[in-house]
Each structure stands twice: as structure tokens, then as C-alpha cells.
Amino acid sequence: MPEGFSFDIIARDGRARRGVLSTPHGVVDTPAFMPVGTRAAVKGLTPDQVAQTGTQIILANTYHLILRPGTDTVARLGGLQRMTGWNRPMLTDSGGFQVFSLAQLRRLDDDGVEFRSHIDGATLRLTPEASITAQNQLGADIIMAFDECPPLPADPAALQAAVRRTLLWARRCRAAHQRHDQALYGIVQGGLDLALRRACLDQLVEIGFDGYALGGLSVGEPPPDMWALLDAFADELPRDRPRYLMGVGMPRDLVHAVSAGVDQFDCVLPTRNGRKGYVFTSGGTLRMRNACHRDDTQPLDPECDCYTCRHVSRGYVRHLFMNSEVLGASLVSLHNIRFFQRLMQRMRAAIEAGCFETWKADFLSSPAAHPREEPR
């Protein structure tokens, strides 16, 4: 691994792993959940507030930062950590997922992707080399190879084409990477095709990366199909390197993935749902605009130790949402991130205690594991 990096597994229980990832900006206990700061900010929260949730690493989005303020500007401001005041580990994605989600705004070939900015319509081109150069300028501890992420379901020809291009671009990303203080992860594609995933992984390992990510999941397939793929494949990723499942964040999905051997996760779910007044709790999901919370003096979650749950009531949080006060979104986002970090802490403790599968069964039978589509 690069200078200043190490990854050590300190406990195992079945395929579940408890590790420590060391980076130039600090350590990350794994399994780890990374809140998403799309534009180098976790919406509505200060870096100190994010740190108080137990978060050790956050994600920023290369695509959005290329558009605004521009990676040259970030570099002149000292890189992401210095610019944001988050002097802790960070990861940047390659921008690929955002580009490929703009299906009506882009044109794809083996060299890269030409797309129109969703901000002003300007035509831009992103190649593997450009993505790596941008991430080198942003300066995150961990950066990602540029890949093609097809939606699911996808026909076999589309999946094979995406894997071919992902591998072509992976080689170019590895060659373009210039900094020795950033870890570069490769991304395994292949949809739900286990043989195609294995073929992709074999070639990525041959190229050589500092960590390996599973991309192209939670993009339209039923959750049980994703769990089956993870169960069959995740533990085949190199055992001495971090394993990262990209863009997955439902509590039950995280637990299934940790059981299969995954170490890192990211998702917008805690803050995106928080801004809408949707609250993750040990007793299930709350919707703060519902009238039943008007006079409720309970905390959001009696089992939670976050600032919101220690200081304010459900009734007050509902009042904030009903009056469009931005503090409501901040308080719920703060709680939701803490909910996810407490979940990761409990999984790490269960792995260390050698009782992960028992803990998993108990959790998956609890209301916390199954947020309803329409929370109460």
C-alpha cells in the first residue's frame, strides 16, 4: 500500500472482518460507514458535528467538484481536508456513477465520456486520466478508478461491454495515478453475473490496486439478489486489502454485506432522508411531519446518545419541519448518521466477541432493520 497506509484485520467471525485502516489523516475502524459530502460538505452539518457522530471518514464527489468550484480551486485552497476543515480521512469517487446516471446528457466511447453539465449545459469530457488528475488535485486519502456502471437489470452483452471498458480504464487509471500519499481502489463490475465478476476481479488483481470495490449494485436489482451475489463473491476479494461496497446503505443491506466480508460503505440515505424528516430509530422509521408527533416529548430514539436525542423532543423537531426551519433537517441528519455509526460499532463489537451471526439474526428480526416505505 502507499506511504502512510496500512490495513490490518484484528478479528474475524466467519467471513465478517474487524479491521483498522490507517491513512495519512488518521485511522478508520472497519466495518466503516462513510457519510456522503457530495460537494465537500455533509449537508447541514459542521465537520465537528459529523465527527461527534463517530464518523471517521467521509466521501466527496469528483463530478460535482469538477463543476464547482473546480479541482484547481480546491488544490489552491489546500486540498479537501484543509479547505473543508475535516482533518480526517476522506475518499473521493471517480465521477463515473454521476456521469453514467446522466443517460440523456452523455456520449460514451472507449476513450471516456462526453457529457453536458447539469448546471449550465456546457460540454465536458471525462476520461480515466482526467478523473485521476482531478482526484490527485482534490487530495483525498482514497481515490477510485473510473469505471462504467450499468443499471440493473441489464442484458449480458451490456454487462460484458461495461466490464471490458472498466478494465481498459482501470489500467489507464493505474498508469495515470501520480501521488504516493493516496490509495487507489479498483472497481469490480459484472452485475449479478458471478462468472463475469470473477473474471473482472482476476484482471483487476493482476493490474494491482490498494483496495477493491464492488460497483454496480443497488442499482435496480431486488435486495435479495444483491445479498446472494455478495454471499457468493465478496469473500473472494483480496483478503489483505479493504473491500468497499459502493452506494449501499439500508441497514439490513449493511448487515448482510458485513456478514459476507465487506469493510467499507457509503450512502446518501442518512442525510437525504434526514432532510425530508425521515428518522431511523431502533423501533423503526419515523416521519416527523406526521401529526402524532405534535405533542410528543420523547426523543427521536430513546436508545440513541446523539445531540438531538439528548436535547430535544419529537414534538420540537416536528415543529421545525412544519415551519420549514433548516434546523430540523440538521437535527435529524445528525441523528441518522449517529444511528448508522452506532450500527457499525455494534457490528464491530459482535465480530470481536465472536457472536456476529447471533447478533445478525437478532438485528434482522428487529424493526430497525426494515424501514417501511411510508414511515409512521
Which residues are catalytic, by number? 93, 266
Question: Which residue, among 279, 299, 254, 266, has the nearest Cα to 371 in the 3D structure?
Answer: 279
The answer to whether the CB of 29 falls within 8 A of the CB of 348 is: yes
Burial-class residue 201 by CB neighbours within 10 Å (0-12, 13-18, 19+): buried
What DSSP element (H or E) covers 360? helix 356-364
Dihedral, CA atoms, 337, 273, 152, 57, nearest 10 degrees? -20
Q: How many CA atoms lie within 13 Å of 208's alpha carbon, on the beta-carbon side?
A: 4
Give dist(CA 100, CA 95) in Å, integer.
9
Is the omega angle on the peptide bond into residue 35 within 30 degrees of 0, that is, cis?
no
SS3 content of the chain, % helix, strand, coil (to 5): 45, 20, 35
Q: What angle do CA 81, 114, 67 make, to 5 degrees?
A: 30
Distance CA 229, CA 190 (A): 11
Is the Cβ–Cβ distance between 340 and 54 less than 8 Å? Answer: no
